[in-house]
Amino acid sequence: MKFTIQQIADVLEGTVEGDPSIELSKLSKIEEGTAGSISFLSNLKYTPYIYTTKASAVIVNNDFKAEQKIEATLIRVEDSYQAFSKLLEYYQMAKMSKTGIQEPCFIHSSATYGDGLYLEAFAYVSENVTIGENAKIFSHTHIGQNVTIGDNCIIHSGAKIMSDTVIGNNVVINSGCVIGADGFGFMPLEDGTYKKVPQTGIVIIEDHVDIGALTTIDRATLGATVIKKGVKLDNQIQIAHNVEIGENTVIAAQTGVAGSAKIGKSCRIGGQVGVAGHISIGDNVGIQAQSGVGKKIRSGENIQGSPAFNYGDWNRSYVYFKNLKSMDSRIAALEKKNS
């Protein structure tokens, strides 16, 4: 995709200083700019790079004053950081503007889909699937039987959406995700072996959810595993059967949530957190990275540690943790003196 500097300035409602006809085809950091790229200057510590950058265009604030000659064409805007963010969104939308069905693909005759579908080569759509308008489904994606996908969804290469999954509108599922695989359900037998418990439930993903690469969300044993509206999941997260995650909760990479745990809305969960099964976590809870949560957490708490407890108490306790060696030496010296 190529755009002239003037076209980009029009999108950003900015003014051009230099040649507006130059074509741009990529985005770059200001220190790594090359011909045909556009960058931005927001943080003042990067100001020296504007005089040496090879980028063809740089977005700057209206009040920026050059102290040396600048080779790049400038686009002046009210706020260069916000303008570049807007440009990223515009660029992403342009990339996702594809429509049509590439070959080879497989679409079962019973499947239905809305206008604006883009189905990349080697995608598979099974029987009784329903896909909404403007969906973008990329190569090597598997859509299982009876799946429902809403409007404006993006499913990236290699994702597997297993049977009966329900996906809302404006959902992004990144590469390698597995949604709706069997939960980890096994019944111990008297002889020490385990018998598989059938997982007959589904996964429901509500609107405006983002799911990172290689994240797995298991189907419920009965009922549904539910990811509520606005949830953001990072890469490589495991969500077990019958879990419920509340609206607008954000979870960082490598976190594992065990079966039937209930997480409230607007929680912030760091990376590598472990949440035990069958517990509840309230709303607006903050959980620091690498914490182990094994009991009910009330709304509004901030916790850390394994087992996790109040974040403020953890910080105060840490003063003692790190001094235990010296404290032990002092106690030993006192005992020796008094003996």
Q: What is the DSSP string of 4-70?
A: EHHHHHHHHT-EEES-TT-EE-EE--GGG--TTEEEE--SGGGGGGGGT---SEEEEETT---SS--
Q: What is the pLDDT of residues 312-326, one digit of tens each?
A: 877 777 777 777 777
User: What is the set of domains in the chain, with CATH numbers?
Assistant: 3-95 (3.40.1390.10), 100-315 (2.160.10.10)
- For 97-113, what is the mean pLDDT? 94
Question: What's the pLDDT at 94?
Answer: 77
Q: What is the pLDDT of residues 153-209, one digit of tens each?
A: 999 999 999 999 999 999 999 999 999 999 999 999 999 999 999 999 999 999 999
Element (H, E) at 79: none
Q: Tally the residues of the chain.
A: 339
What CA–CA distance (Å, rounded) separates 198 from 196? 6
Q: What angle do CA 119, 173, 134 make, to 5 degrees?
A: 40
What CA–CA distance (Å, rounded) separates 144 from 127? 7
Q: How confident is the model at residue 66 (pLDDT cuts 50, 70, 90)?
A: very high
Question: What's the pLDDT at 262?
Answer: 98
**Structure tokens that stand for 227 in this block:** 């990811």
Active centre residues (catalytic):
241
- For 80-104, what is the mean pLDDT? 88
Longest dimension (CA), the chain: 89
Do 147 and 179 touch, CB atoms closer than 8 A?
A: no
- For 302-307, what is the mean pLDDT? 86
Do 201 and 224 touch, CB atoms closer than 8 A?
A: yes
Question: What's the pLDDT at 308?
Answer: 74
Mapped onto helix, strand or coil, the DSSP state of residue 163 is coil
What CA–CA distance (Å, rounded) separates 70 from 82? 22
DSSP 236: S
Pairing of strands 26-27, 250-251: unpaired
**Number of CB atoms found within 10 A of residue 322's CB:** 9
User: Residue 204: what residue type?
Assistant: I
What's the predicted TM-score (pTM) here? 0.81
Do 61 and 84 touch, CB atoms closer than 8 A?
A: no
**Number of CB atoms found within 10 A of residue 186's CB:** 11
The gap from C-alpha 58 to its chain's centroid, in whole angstroms, comes to: 29
DSSP 319: H
Q: What angle do CA 80, 81, 84 make, to 5 degrees?
A: 85
Find tokens 């976190």 and name the residue.
255
